[in-house]
Structures are given as C-alpha cells and as structure tokens.
Amino acid sequence: MATPRGGAAPTGPDRSPPTHWVTLTLLLLALATALFLDGYSGNGFRRSTTASSGPSAGIEGAGPILDFSKRDPASVPMPPKQIALTFDDGPDPRWTPAILRALTRHHAKATFFVVGAKVARHPALTRRLLAEGHELGSHTFTHANMGTASAVRRNAELSLTQVALAGAAGVRTSLLRLPYSSGPEELTRGDVVAARSAARYGYLLVASTNDSRDWQRPGVPAIVARSLPSGGAGAVILMHDSGGDRHQTVAALERLLPALEQQGYQFVTVSQVIAQARSAVNPRVSTAARIQGRSVLGALTVSRAIAALLRWILLPIVLLAALRAILVVVFAARHVRARARTVGGYRPPVSVLVPAYNEGVVIAATVRSLASSVAGDDEIVVVDDGSTDDTAAIVDGLALPRVRLLRQGNGGKANALNNGIRNSRHDVIVMVDADTQFEPTTIDWLVRPLADPTVGAVSGNTKVANRGRLLGRWQHIEYVLGFNLDRRMFDILRCMPTVPGAIGAFRRGALAGVGNMSSDTLAEDTDVTLALNRAGWRVVYEEQARAWTEAPGSVGALWRQRYRWSYGTMQAMWKHRHAVRERGPLGRVGLPYVLAFQILLPLMAPAVDLFTLFGLLFQDPKPVIAYWLVFNGVNILLGAYALRLDGERLGVLWSVPLQQIVYRQLMYLVVIQSVRTALSGQVLPWHSVPRQGDLRVG
C-alpha cells in the first residue's frame, strides 16, 4: 500500500536531517574512546615479572643508576652499607599499604616505581606515598615492554605517566625503571634504545643490584636471601608492591629490614644516592599541568565506569538470550504435540481478502494460487486501492470463478481491508498480502483451529519464496528461526502479538468486536491482533498453513519494509500499553517479550558489539571468541531445530554466522531509526516495497 494509515498523507518521503545518525555516531565514538581508554589503561594490569627478553646490550660492571644522556652512559654505584629499597608495579590498594606499614615500623624510606594507569586508579594512595616521605619513579603507564615498543608508544607511556602523577599528586618524576628489566647487565639492546630516548627528557634509569624475584613467590626465606647484599656492599633491592599476591613480599620485609638494621645498613632513597633533594626527582608541576592531569584522570574514571556498566549490562543480555533459546525450544516442542491432537475436518466457507496497490507484477500469480486453494462457496475479494498501474486490469482479465474485484480511491491498507470485510459474505475472513501465494491446502489448514469457538484468529506460516540470494536466505532464516519459533511459543502462552498480513484467518464477529481494521498505526496486523487478545479471544499459530511471500530483494527495500514494521509495532504497543495493567498473558508475557527482544536489546546491540571488540583488543580474547562460537553454535542448533519443524532443508545454516555479522547490524539500525522517529512524534509515511515477481512456491 502506498499511503499512511490514519491521518493525512504526507507530501513526500521523510526528508528530515539525519541528526540522529550524527548523534548515534558521536555517542558510539565517545563510547569507543571510553572503552579504548579503559582498555589501554588496564592493559598493564598483569602478573609481574622482571624476566627480560632479547639480545643483551652488554653493559657490564655499571652501577644501578644510569644516565644515558651522553654517548657513553654514566652510572652511579651504591655506597657501602646503604640500601635503596625499590618497589615496582603499584600502587595497589591491598599490598602497598601493608608495605608502607612495614617500612614505617622500621623507619625506612623507599622509591616506588609506579604504573601510571594505577596511579590514575588510586590517586589518594599515590599522595600517601609522597606524604610519608617516599619517592616516586615511572614504571611506564601500562607496564609496557619499552625494549620492543615503537617510538610513539614509548613516548606515550612516559608522558601519560607524568600526566597521571601531575593529576594525582601534583608532581612529576625524573626516575625511570623499565618493565621486564632488573640489573644493568640484563638490559637488552631495545632497552638501551628506550633508555636513551627517555634520557632526552631528563630521565635517569634505575636498575637493581639485588632482584628478590618475589613475583615468583619462591618463599619468604628465598626472597630474603636474594635481597641481602654480601660483604657490606650497598644495594638497590628490587621488590614488588602489586602485580599479584604479595603475602610473601610483606612477610619477607618484616624479616629483611631488621636483619639489615642489625648489620648496620642505612636505608636511603635514590635521590640521596645521587646527592639530590627529593624535590629534584619529584618536582612540583604547574597549575596548568595539574589541571590537565586531573582532566585525564577524570576521563579515565568515566571510562572505567562505562566499561564496568557494560560488563553488568552484558551479563543479563547473555542470560536473556540463553533463556529465550531454552524457552522457544521447550514451547515449540509443546506446540508440536498440541497441534498433533487438533481434530481435523472443520472447513467453513471463507472470504479471502487481497488489498492491492500497484501490485501488477505479482497480483496474477497471487490470485491464481488463491483460486487453487479455495473451494465450494469460498470467495476471493481483491480490493484495488486506487492503483496507478494495471493491477485492476490484470485481475479483471483473469476471469477466474469466485474472484471479485472492488475498486476504491487510495485510502490505505486498513481502509481497503475494511471495504473488503463490508463487501464479503462469509463469517471467516482470510487476509492475504498481494505478493503472497498459497499452497492448495493452505486455507484448509488455516481455518481448522477455528473449530474451537474461543479462537478468534489464526496466524499462518509465512515462508520466504525468493531465497536464492544471500539477502533472501538471511530473511528465510529470520522467518523460520525468529518469527515462527516465537509464534509457537506465543501460541502456547496465549499471547500472540501479530497475525501477519501475509496470511491470517479471522472470525468476522471477533473483528467486529474490536472495530475491524484500524488506521491508527502502520502495523494494522499487530494492532488488530493485540486488540483481539485484549478482547479475550485466543490467537493461535498453524504451521501447516503455508504462505509464500516475496521478501525484499535489496538492502534499501528491506530497510523500508522493516522500518515500517518496527515503527508500526511500537505504535501498536503504545496504543495497547494498558494491557500490562489488565494482567492477561498479553500484558504479562507478550508485550514485555516484544519490548525486550525487539526493541531494548537491539538498542543495546551497538554498545555490546563495541564491548566485544574491546574484549578482543584489550582483554583475554579467548572468552570473547568462546562466547561468539557458543552463541553461533546455539543459533545453528536452534536453526536446525526450527528448520526441521518447518520441513526445510538445513543447507542454509552455513550463512548463520555471517548473518550475525552483517544482517543483524542492519536490523539494529532499523530499530534505532524507528525509536528516534517514535520519540520525535514524526508521522511516518507508508513505504512501499518494489516487487520483483521472483517467487518459488515449495
């Protein structure tokens, strides 16, 4: 049909500026940025290690504090009987305070080489380190391997850590310890390149003389033994205050510090070793730098909150999808058993109504197929709704028995159907779209459930006829796996939301009781079905009543059709929203189900897809890949079950994973567009779909 249902026809197509797409794009970009920030800043939260990789740079005999600003690196040795305690990978809200308590008990100061991303997460703890007299050095922003990182990555790791320190504590640092490195002799060639690059920005590289290797958790005695210097020599001791379980580190400190004190060692910081004031290695920053740092920390806080929210949202989405899969299988099996007990033989005379507007390409095949499905006193009423092509002439020229043609001015599909109802003779009305063909036994099966006087309408089984191409195949899968499985469940639960316009049978009295077809929405089929439910009529599904319809053959045509369906469904749901208060199965199950799975979940889909990509890029990809494989495996199994129930071949299942990647996104965008239109209060015109006449029945 070509005109809007209800209200005046617009003068042309919707030409409003696509500001909602701009808004959606900006929102997705903002979300992607937030996820990127969270993913990048969390990329270093891994198990600690000081195991280096790569060819050695051959630095032997150097002191643990190195200056690579000159061609030949200078180093500072540790004076005898002096201990510089250093801790990597923090700050950590659990282990750093425990280590601070141990240091305080023994009046020891230390240098903490912090990870910038953790500074951003724990700014108060960072300030506490400074307040208790300790020093801060950089351990990069994400614990990156600087020896293998690109120049851009190296600069970003250093500058972001400085920004985090400025925002958290108002300081910067001139001390650097490279992740995955320990003593000077273990520095790789790549490490030296990174150290020389950092030296241009004023950094001193701080290595170690005694690596406790506490990240291996070898036991408290082993950590203490590795940390103790020999022969009264000075030492830079490397330990960790984050990056894993640090029980052994804390316990080892409680033994190590008293032992060093008894041997006459003095605890110093790196600044004391190089004879500088602490303010020289941790100078205060300008107000502008502090504001910039706080802004970055704020952005990271927001990004973490968004990522956490998406994690919480993803869980119920996964559970809902799993629950739906279980429910549709259980209820489909019950539906098969219930239909097997249906008594046959009920076949009243029917009036078949075919509303048609510019359907010249398909109308002849449709009417001929209907003529083969009617018998006895049945009639076929074609209502030409002011077509501007040869639709009416083609129907006239067929000269088939039991076929009548009604002509009217263009008034919309609902108006055409009501005209057909007024001018039809029988108490059972079968409504058929003009692009749909019936099998010879379709009507016999369709009207059989009406033998039950409580049944007011019957939904038939709509099949996609033009499934030769990929787009048609995807729609075929959608009809069988989505629409028809859902209808089986709705039938059992007595809350069928839609008898499709392509094929449906109605009692005349039931239609009259709800005012026949309404022009209030663009989905007159959903509107009238919801009205019948609310009026107390049962609406059932008969899978043996097959109707073959021509699905849209192009993306543009599919968009127009689904946009109308989605928007019309929202209109109908809003019109019948009071069903929720009526406590019937429609309000308790039907409408909430449609709201959840046809509106809310599609609205969340772009964010969920972004979060999935985030998981692949920044987290362990194995769970994400496993989820995707399980999700598609369940869909394939569900599809196989649905296809078997419908007597279809299983060969189309190969396209299910590809459907999830491409077709699903298009359907989500349709829902987003429809929600935008509904919220704006805009009147959507009827979007006709061009016909190809490409139908293969059976």
- Residue 348 has what pLDDT? 95
Q: Which of the two residues, 605 and 63, has the higher pLDDT score?
A: 63
Tell me which of 13-17, 172-176, 240-244, 328-332 is least confident: 13-17
Question: In the structure, what pLDDT confidence band is assigned to residue 152 with cuts at 50, 70 and 90?
Answer: very high
Q: Which two tokens stand for residue 285?
A: 């920053």
Question: In the structure, what pLDDT confidence band is assigned to residue 12 with cuts at 50, 70 and 90?
Answer: very low
3-state secondary structure at position 469:
coil
Q: pLDDT tens-digit profile of 185-211?
A: 888 889 999 999 999 999 999 999 999
Q: Which of the two residues, 687 and 109, has the higher pLDDT score?
A: 109
Q: Label the pairing between strands 379-385 and 436-438.
A: unpaired
Question: In the structure, what pLDDT confidence band is assigned to residue 53 with cuts at 50, 70 and 90?
Answer: low
Tell me which of 252-256, 307-311, 429-433, 571-575 is least confident: 307-311
Active site residues: 88, 240
| Average pLDDT, integer, range 214-239 | 94
Tell me which of 214-223, 342-351, 437-446, 475-484 is least confident: 342-351
| Average pLDDT, integer, range 309-315 | 79
| Average pLDDT, integer, range 370-382 | 94
Q: How far apart are CA 390 and CA 588, in angstroms?
A: 47
Q: How far apart are CA 225 and CA 588, in angstroms?
A: 69
Question: In the structure, what pLDDT confidence band is assigned to residue 315 with cuts at 50, 70 and 90?
Answer: confident
Q: How far apart are CA 678 and CA 643, in angstroms?
A: 35
% of residues, the chain, pLDDT over 70: 91
% of residues, the chain, pLDDT over 90: 60
Q: Does the pLDDT of residue 606 top 90, yes or no?
A: no
3-state secondary structure at position 486:
helix
Q: Which of the two residues, 233 and 676, has the higher pLDDT score?
A: 233
- Residue 3 has what pLDDT? 37
Q: Does the pLDDT of residue 629 top 80, yes or no?
A: yes
- Residue 45 has what pLDDT? 45
| Average pLDDT, integer, range 225-241 | 94
Q: Does the pLDDT of residue 98 top 50, yes or no?
A: yes
Q: Which two tokens stand for residue 290?
A: 């502090």
Question: In the structure, what pLDDT confidence band is assigned to residue 691 with cuts at 50, 70 and 90?
Answer: low
- The model carries a pTM of 0.74
- Residue 372 has what pLDDT? 92
Q: Count how many Cα atoms sit within 13 Å of the Cα of residue 618 in the half-sphere of its side chain.
A: 21
| Average pLDDT, integer, range 135-159 | 93
DSSP assigned state of 207: -
| Helix, strand, coil percentages in the chain from 3-state DSSP, rounded to 5 | 50, 15, 35
Residues in the chain: 698
Q: Does the pLDDT of residue 38 top 80, yes or no?
A: no
| Average pLDDT, integer, range 489-517 | 95
Cα dihedral sign, 645-646-647-651: negative
- Residue 608 has what pLDDT? 77
- Residue 499 has what pLDDT? 96
Tell me which of 27-41, 135-149, 176-190, 638-652 is least confident: 27-41
- Residue 94 has what pLDDT? 96
Question: In the structure, what pLDDT confidence band is assigned to residue 341 with cuts at 50, 70 and 90?
Answer: low
- Residue 58 has what pLDDT? 62
Q: How far apart are CA 409 and CA 80, in angstroms?
A: 104
- Residue 530 has what pLDDT? 97
Question: In the structure, what pLDDT confidence band is assigned to residue 616 with cuts at 50, 70 and 90?
Answer: confident
- Residue 235 has what pLDDT? 95
List, as one string, the DSSP characters of 126-188: HHHHHHTT-EEEE--SS---TTTS-HHHHHHHHHHHHHHHHHHHSB---EE--TT--SGGG-B
Q: Does the pLDDT of residue 44 top 90, yes or no?
A: no
Q: Does the pLDDT of residue 413 top 70, yes or no?
A: yes
Question: In the structure, what pLDDT confidence band is assigned to residue 136 with cuts at 50, 70 and 90?
Answer: very high
3-state secondary structure at position 384:
strand
- Residue 96 has what pLDDT? 97
Q: Does the pLDDT of residue 289 top 90, yes or no?
A: yes
- Long-range contacts of residues 322-329, Cβ cutoff 8 Å, at least 24 apart: 322/634, 324/597, 325/634, 325/638, 327/489, 328/485, 328/486, 328/488, 328/489, 328/638, 329/638, 329/641
Which domains does the chain carry? Answer: 68-299 (3.20.20.370), 313-680 (3.90.550.10)
- The mean pLDDT of the chain is 88
Q: Does the pLDDT of residue 23 top 70, yes or no?
A: no
Q: Does the pLDDT of residue 1 top 50, yes or no?
A: no
The closest of 457, 446, 588, 591 to 535, measured between CA atoms, is 457
Q: Does the pLDDT of residue 275 top 90, yes or no?
A: no
